[in-house]
Amino acid sequence: MIMQDELSIKQATNIIKQSKYLIAMTGAGISRESNVPTFRGADGLWKQYDAMQLATPDAFRANPQLVWEWYSWRQDLILKCSPNPAHETLVKWEQKGYLKSIITQNVDGLHRRAGSHSLHEVHGNLWTLKCTSCDYHDQLDAPAVGVPICPSCSNHLRPDVVWFGENLNQEIMLNVYSELDKADVCMVIGTSALVQPAASFPLLVREQGGLIIEVNIEETPLTPLATVHLRGKAGEILPLLDKLIA
Ligand code: BJW
Ligand code: ZN
């Protein structure tokens, strides 16, 4: 590790130790080392698949079979993945009281599988289904087969995730804004910080005088605004911080 990195790691360790209300915001990058593909970047899902044909309400209306095929494939893939040391470190920090909550854009459910409790899934969850017409919801524990049908009204069920052009769940957002309001440090881990409104969450913490620690293998639009930017893999950096905090 080069000197600059050592300094940043030390600085981040001190910020975490001195924090009064530390929260984490995570994106697809935290699950990369669990072998879950990210969306953007060279081997991201959007290189291979068209977001507008798969992750919008119009796309689902036009071709529910195609959209479900893609989601079933991802469910199958994620079922074979396990949480990695980055997810596990956040669990440990919650148990020790350092970390107050996680705001995740991920729909893979790996934070919960790792054992995190105070969790806000702002883009929904791949394992929950909701009806396109009535209030029916259901939980899956295996990949969906075909296009699931609502037992209550016979319309199509869809994954309970947030697609482009859709608003985020109001109740979840109220809880998220309450967490952001209380936070004095926001660790932003593995997100390209390109998708709104999530990309602005850390900025709200900063606007009220809070600090941002970014963990990412690349620079993002958030990097210049971060107090500390730790460049590297989340699954290596978080356990290292944990060792230094102890
Ligand atoms: C590592 C690593 C390692 C890798 N360690 N790091 C024009 C038309 C319509 C809408 C818009 C528009 N212009 C703007 C909008 C708004 C839109 C938006 O922001 N678009 C931008 C892309 C331009 N937002 C929305 O539509 C949102 N809703 C909304 O705004 O409602 C109001 C509204 C209504 C009507 C019209 C307009 C607005 C909803 C956004 C929903 C996003 N949904 C998805 C899919 C979820 C379901 C599913 O998974 O199938 O959410 S898209 C996808 O992006 C997914 C993610 O949660 C989200 C963010 O991605 P994330 O997590 O940042 O991943 P990546 O891949 O981008 O980045 C990974 C990062 O990890 C990289 O930086 C790597 O370097 C790093 N990394 N390995 C550490 N080992
Ligand atoms: Zn229904």
Domains of the chain, residue spans: 3-34+83-123+168-245, 37-80+126-161
pLDDT in tens, the chain (246 residues): 555 688 999 999 999 999 999 999 999 999 999 999 999 988 899 988 999 999 999 999 999 999 999 999 999 999 999 999 999 999 999 999 999 999 999 999 999 999 999 999 999 999 999 999 999 999 999 999 999 999 999 999 999 999 999 999 999 999 999 999 999 999 999 999 999 999 999 999 999 999 999 999 999 999 999 999 999 999 999 999 999 998
173 lines ligand 1 (CB under 6 A): no
* Ligand 1 center–CA 91 separation, angstroms: 24
pLDDT of residue 81: 98
Cis peptide before 197 (omega within 30 of 0): yes
220 lines ligand 1 (CB under 6 A): yes
Tell me whether residue 137 is one of the annotated catalytic residues: no
Distances 84 to 181, 226, 244 between C-alpha atoms, Å:
29, 25, 19
| Ligand 1 atom 71: residue of nearest CA | 29
For the CA of 105, the closest atom of ligand 1 is 57
* Ligand 2 center–CA 147 separation, angstroms: 13
User: How far does CA 82 lie from the centroid of its chain?
Assistant: 15
120 lines ligand 1 (CB under 6 A): no
Ligand 1 pocket test: which of 126, 195, 219, 237 has the largest number of ligand atoms within 8 Å of its C-beta?
A: 195
Topology of the domain covering 3-34+83-123+168-245: Rossmann fold (3.40.50)
| Ligand 1 atom 39: residue of nearest CA | 164
Pick the catalytic residue from 123, 137, 156, 229.
123
Topology of the domain covering 37-80+126-161: SIR2/SIRT2 'Small Domain' (3.30.1600)
Which residues crowd ion ligand 2, with CB under 5 Å? 131, 133-134, 136, 150, 152-153
165 lines ligand 1 (CB under 6 A): yes
For the CA of 233, the closest atom of ligand 1 is 5
| Ligand 1 atom 70: residue of nearest CA | 191
Q: What is the 3-state secondary structure (H, E, C) of the chain?
A: CCHHHHHHHHHHHHHHHHCCCEEEEECHHHHHHHCCCCCCCCCCHHHHCCHHHHCCHHHHHHCHHHHHHHHHHHHHHHHCCCCCHHHHHHHHHHHHCCEEEEEECCCCCHHHHHCCCCEEECCEEEEEEEECCCCCEEECCCCCCCCCECCCCCCEEEEEECCCCCCCCHHHHHHHHHHHHHCCEEEEECCCCCCCCHHHHHHHHHHCCCEEEEEECCCCCCHHHCCEEEECCHHHHHHHHHHHHC
